[in-house]
Structure 1
Amino acid sequence: MGRPSLAAQRRRQILDAAARSVARYGLAGSTQERIAAVAGMSRSHIRHYVGNRDELIDALWDHVITPYFDATREALAGRTAEERLPALVDHLFGPQLARNEDDLVIESLISGSMHDVRLRGRIYDSYARLERDVARTIREAIPGCEAAESLRLAYALICMAFGHSTLAPLPFPASRQTGLKELAMQLLASRAAGHGTGPGASGTG
């Protein structure tokens, strides 16, 4: 078996350094020179292995967000349609999404996208894909749930989960997290009942 690609190693080293820089100095303060210094490289290395600033920011976004989306898919893998909704809620409100330094990077990039149409489009594409994945999970678990409704539910779940993650560092009682998770399940259960499926659904006799 051959050695791992040096280019892949260098690229990972640069993106790790970029994440540390953005977490500490913000997006605007993370120049290629500063990222190069954090990585222990020259600016020419940054351009050689990753590209210009736009390409670096795009690669950084993928670097920090992809593991979260992959983990969401893995949390649902191998489960029946009925098992996926509870598993999805457990994942969205569980320790897997506990706050860490990556959140500072993600928030800096989202904030930066307010003034960068190109970056905003890229971030939107990522979250829209997550929204579609969650909506598909909802439709598979709730037969009869239409696409528009499943997208609204998916968006609500994502907002609840990410809002909770944002406030997690504050000293709210642990019951807040439990209550929000229960509220998410109640929301899904009420929609399932409306479509005659899932817990609490009424039969026709």
Structure 2
Amino acid sequence: MATPTKSAFAALMTSSAERHSIADDVQGVVSGSMLAALGITLLSSAGLLTGGVPGIAFLIHYATGFSFGACFFAANLPFYYLAFRRMGLVFMLKTFAAVAITATLSEVLPRALGLTHVDPLIGALFGGLVIGAGLLALFRHRGSLGGIGILALYLQDRFGWRAGFVQLGFDCAIVACSCLLASPYIIACSIAGALVMNITLAVNHRKDRYIAM
């Protein structure tokens, strides 16, 4: 007969095709957050913008000089209620953890990596791809980076709209608001990065192909 300790450990580690274990979710949230922070570092080092709440945080960061991590964490605060009401407590807690990890790492990585110059086009393409991969990991473990991602996931669950395409529409609108802070070339590269990120999501994040919860 299994002891309570062994039973608890088995519950922590056991997963199936239909359901992630707690350990799976921890790994997914941490890995997705690390990838997102790396992509954000590439965008920031190239002086680029993006969409969603990170885009809002970039705008505030460039306009005021406040740290990106603080702006990103604060800008997400109003969206946790929507996450709780529409997606549940577990989703909200995973999202809060992902935002906190990403905000912290986005402050640490630029100093740790020592990036001095990133070409805007290269930064956009690789940054967008890495952020997209990070979001994909978070989405598949029922988490997000908050903000528009929460809304996009809710609309996909409620109406079947692709989360990537929903977020793409919001992203383009936010990037368009950056015209007063960036050159046309930087804006064009930022849009390219947003396209890469959201196409990655739209192609790979489909409930009929990935069923684990």
Q: TM-score, normalised by structure 2?
A: 0.30
TM-score calculated relative to the size of structure 1: 0.31
| Larger RCO (alpha carbons 8 Å, 6+ apart) | 2
Rg (Cα) greater in structure: 1
